[in-house]
Structure 1
């Protein structure tokens, strides 16, 4: 596979951009080799600057649930941008987006748009602290909520990929305000709340962990956290930047029947444009400026072009049977991969929810962060490159979830499984 132009671009980039990339996992540092540079994308496929085509299971890390360059989304963007790219004053599409989110997600009585998932999670934590008058927060080992200082303690995703369990630049005093729990451990959560419940402003969690590959909650676990937070006056925050509108129309909170106090969103509500949002109970959100004293602002928040792309995407995914089809295709892919691996005598298991999945080179099940870390990352790295050579692009890290879109159909799944059969044969 020729990648001469990608190599030349990466050489130039490394002189000008840290690591040659604008987000760490893109550098292929954990899997080895050099990244390819995208030229264009359409449907389920990415095309690089050297003319290679890949079935894409990254999907811009989640936003492209309807596939790349969907005509309905592009039309909405083109129509909106003719009137201007940014105004710095309110626009009608912001209101329409707020109406859409609050109608789809019942726990969100009010919502504030921001520009990224990181902005959304940072803002939600600020609201929790401001509303409760407490300082400490709880996060979970292996969960990643953006690169805010409070979240880079035992984070997953790119932090774990690079072998950085904590990040330089995070003051110890701030890190001390972040308590961590093992995901899916009922007793540990109970003990922590019994010891420090009256000090905890908020608990933030990925209801399905997508940054230690893909770990699903044990039966009753999210409900247990809901009960602990209610008992101790702690704000329960669901980070649905990844799962929102993907694993069900109303996100993981709909799928598991839990009502968080605050939720954060991103990815899909921007349709591929930079976006984020946080929302929740009215009494909490009314404390955000200018309604209340908790300050948060953003020059480009509610950008009309991002709103147009997101609204078009939300319209697409509300089609009857959309998520059912997404779930069927996710199962078909994961079942096929497991069958191919087992036929080759390789220890391999998958986890999956509608439209997202995890790949682990180990025997299952995978229910905890420790389980995820026990996966054979060297074998994954070899598999990653074998699949890339055969035109299938998986996330370039053993600790990142994969994503399906409605554009991934039987032909793409067939190609992927044929590539996997050959790739497993090289391990």
Structure 2
């Protein structure tokens, strides 16, 4: 595998871009080696600057659910660009995409378009605070909601304490209003809520976390949060930037039968273009400016190219719900193949899967929260990542990231993924 051009580009990039990349995980710090620079992608494969092909299990961190260079989405983008990449004014497509989102996600009665998942979560938190006239927010350890100040918070001395900043630039004043609890621990959530009674504006959660690997909610956990929020007048926010339109037409909230008060979206709703959105109950959303007092604005919000791409992709998913059944089937084939390989090698690594989200954890512990995820052998994962790269399979460059499956991954690709795993275990045990 020749990656000379990627190496040369990375060397140049480090002179002009912090760390040589525009998002930290791309730097391969968690897995070793240097990042690969890509030139094009189609279907299930990406091609680097040296012409090497890679079977893609990241799919742009989720948006490319229909694979790369989907013709329907591409045609919508080309048509929109010809009309102008940006108006800075209202356009038809943002209305039609908003209508489609509210049709597909029953909990969303009104929606505001923004430019990223981070912008969506930041705006939803501000809205919840403005609506409830409370300051504090509760989030969960291991759940990622973008790089907004309120979310870059580490655990304090206990689950019922206030958070502390875990990034320079985040003030202690911001951190004191962010409370933390372990994922899947409803009793700790109740403890935090009781200790801050009448002060919590929102509980924000990834219903299916994707940034500690794919972690599933225990039975009754999300239902318990819904009941607690109802009892305490707290706004329940589902961050479905990853899971929205990926697990089902209505996202994780459809799968688990829970209606949040607000939902944040991104990734799939842009068809690969930069995008975000937040929406929910009409009475809450009507607090957003210009209708209400909570200010939020964006020059490129509702960008016609992103709206056109998102509408094309969501329309296809809405009209072809069998996509989700097919994706589940493919992902389960990978899961079952890995389980057979693990049994063959007398290993007991953990795998979590739901719909087209799946993770292999190099630990024999059940992974249900951030602490159990951290029991993984990250050095071994780094070796596995590099082995896959050398054999033409592109995994997320971190143990703590979900793999995303696209509709373009078929039987041949599934077998390659499983065989590469088998070969790696043979080598590592040999």
- TM-score, normalization: structure 2? 0.96
Instruction: Tell me the equivalent position of 2:57.
Output: 57
**Cα deviation per residue 1:230-289 (whole Å; 9 max; x = unaligned)?**
101100000000000001110000000001000000000000000000000000000100
Q: Does 1:366 align with 2:334?
A: no
**Cα deviation per residue 1:95-127 (whole Å; 9 max; x = unaligned)?**
001000000001000000000000000000000
Aligned residues: CA RMSD:
1.2
Instruction: Tell me the equivalent position of 1:321.
Output: 322
Instruction: Tell me the equivalent position of 1:345.
Output: 346
Shift of 1:368: 1.6
Q: Note the 1:194-233 alignment, pairs <5 A.
A: 194-233=194-233
Shift of 1:423: 1.3
Q: Secondary structure at the match of 1:59?
A: coil
Q: Note the 1:240-279 alignment, pairs <5 A.
A: 240-279=240-279
Aligned partners of 1:130 and 1:55: how far apart in 2?
45
Q: Secondary structure at the match of 1:60?
A: coil
Shift of 1:419: 1.2
Unpaired runs of at least 5, structure 1 = 156-163
Unpaired runs of at least 5, structure 2 = 156-163
Q: Secondary structure at the match of 1:201?
A: strand
Shift of 1:365: 2.1
Shift of 1:363: 1.4
Instruction: Tell me the equivalent position of 1:139.
Output: 139
Segments ≥4 residues shifted beyond 2 Å: 344-347
- TM-score, normalization: structure 1? 0.96
Shift of 1:353: 0.9
Aligned partners of 2:290 and 2:418: how far apart in 1?
53
Instruction: Tell me the equivalent position of 2:106.
Output: 106
Label 1:346 to 1:2 Cα distance change in 2 as closer, same or farther (>3 A).
farther
Q: Secondary structure at the match of 2:83?
A: coil
**Cα deviation per residue 1:277-318 (whole Å; 9 max; x = unaligned)?**
000000000010000110000000000100111111112222
Label 1:290 to 1:62 Cα distance change in 2 as closer, same or farther (>3 A).
same
**Cα deviation per residue 1:309-335 (whole Å; 9 max; x = unaligned)?**
111111222204110111111111122
Aligned partners of 1:27 and 1:344: how far apart in 2?
32
Aligned partners of 2:322 and 2:183: how far apart in 1?
31
Q: Does 1:380 align with 2:381?
A: yes
Instruction: Tell me the equivalent position of 1:408.
Output: 409
Q: Does 1:336 align with 2:343?
A: no
Aligned partners of 1:61 and 1:165: how far apart in 2?
26
Shift of 1:364: 4.1
Contact 2:165–2:172 (8 Å) recurs in 1: no
Shift of 1:342: 3.0
Instruction: Tell me the equivalent position of 2:42.
Output: 42
Q: Does 1:298 align with 2:298?
A: yes
Instruction: Tell me the equivalent position of 1:389.
Output: 390
Q: Secondary structure at the match of 2:74?
A: helix
Which has the higher mean CA deviation after the structures are superposed, 305-314 or 331-340? 331-340
Instruction: Tell me the equivalent position of 2:161.
Output: none
Q: Secondary structure at the match of 2:325?
A: helix
